């Protein structure tokens, strides 16, 4: 487990590292791929970013006592892994219902197929399940997310946002995240962000604009929303503190 600077998380947990890169609009500028190369001294597969399991990390969340929001496989894509191993990850998540787990994928079809398996029936309620959308060609992932069984929160991460996405059907979506690209820096046009914000507001969906877009709000920093759904860890902490 690693402490993280990602604004909406407490920890990241990487029982899997790497991804296939299929359909990835940011493959050439992938932050996670660059970070994984630093692990060459410890793991050749991390350096090559070939999807692979790290079973020695599987039970790490069992030792986190404080209620936490945990990002799962932010150094890869969980849904690039064999289903048997994904089931093991989900089993750990079920064993720690006090935590909230944030799963983000570009492999939306695999995610949808997994969520439809009768033996699984649905993702645990302490899972926040999301898809990455960087450009119009990725919008189909939102439809796949909507068809996936349950999960406590369904969200869309527009990071990095590469173009104006126009009108989006956000019915059934609980949260959106908007961000830019670093190394190299790419900041979306402010009007693209406004379009997403406006549509989310109409649906009363929380909006989280990441710190890497702070420069776009420099005149009115208080107008940069960083909202998080008030369920999961947030409501658990409130209940814990009042007990």
Let me know: does 52 contact 16? Beta carbons within 8 Å.
yes
DSSP designation for 75: T
pLDDT, one tens digit for every residue, the chain (243 residues): 899 999 999 999 999 999 888 888 877 777 778 777 776 667 888 888 899 999 999 999 999 999 999 999 999 999 988 888 999 999 999 999 999 999 999 999 888 887 666 655 678 899 999 999 999 999 999 999 998 877 889 999 999 999 999 999 999 999 999 999 987 889 999 999 999 999 999 999 999 999 999 889 877 777 889 999 987 666 665 554 444
| Ramachandran quadrant class, 23 (left: phi over 0; alpha: psi -120 to 50; beta: rest) | left
Q: Going by C-beta distance under 8 Å and a sequence separation of 6 or more, which residues neighbour residue 27?
A: 21, 33
**Number of domains making up the chain:** 1
Let me know: does 20 contact 107? Beta carbons within 8 Å.
yes
Q: Domain of 189? A: 2-242
Helices (H), the chain: 31-36, 44-48, 83-95, 108-115, 140-146, 190-202, 233-242
Let me know: does 123 contact 90? Beta carbons within 8 Å.
yes
Identify the CATH number of the domain in which residue 104 sits: 3.20.20
Q: Supply the pLDDT for residue 243.
A: 40
Residue 109, helix vs strand vs coil: helix
* Angstrom distance (rounded) from CA 159 to CA 77: 15
């Amino acid at each position: 487990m690693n402490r993280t600077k990602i604004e909406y998380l407490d920890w990241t947990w990487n029982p899997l590292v790497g991804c296939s890169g299929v359909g990835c609009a940011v493959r050439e500028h992938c932050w996670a791929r660059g970070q994984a190369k630093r692990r060459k001294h410890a793991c050749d597969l991390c350096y090559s970013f070939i999807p692979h399991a790290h079973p020695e990390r599987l039970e790490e969340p069992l030792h986190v006592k404080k209620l936490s929001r945990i990002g799962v496989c932010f150094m890869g894509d969980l849904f690039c892994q064999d289903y048997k191993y994904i089931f093991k990850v989900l089993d750990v998540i079920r064993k720690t219902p006090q935590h909230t787990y944030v799963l983000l994928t570009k492999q939306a079809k695999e995610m949808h197929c997994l969520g439809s398996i009768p033996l699984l029936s649905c993702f645990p309620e302490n899972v926040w399940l999301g898809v990455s959308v960087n450009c119009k060609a990725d919008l189909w992932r939102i439809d796949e997310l909507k068809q996936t069984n349950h999960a406590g929160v369904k969200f869309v991460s527009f990071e990095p946002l590469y173009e104006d996405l126009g009108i989006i059907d956000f019915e059934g979506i609980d949260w959106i995240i908007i961000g830019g690209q670093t190394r190299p820096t790419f900041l979306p046009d402010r009007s693209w962000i406004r379009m997403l914000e406006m549509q989310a507001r109409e649906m009363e969906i929380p909006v989280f604009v990441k710190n890497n877009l702070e420069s776009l709000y420099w005149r009115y920093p208080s107008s940069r929303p960083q909202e998080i759904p008030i369920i999961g860890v947030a409501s658990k902490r409130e209940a814990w503190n009042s007990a």
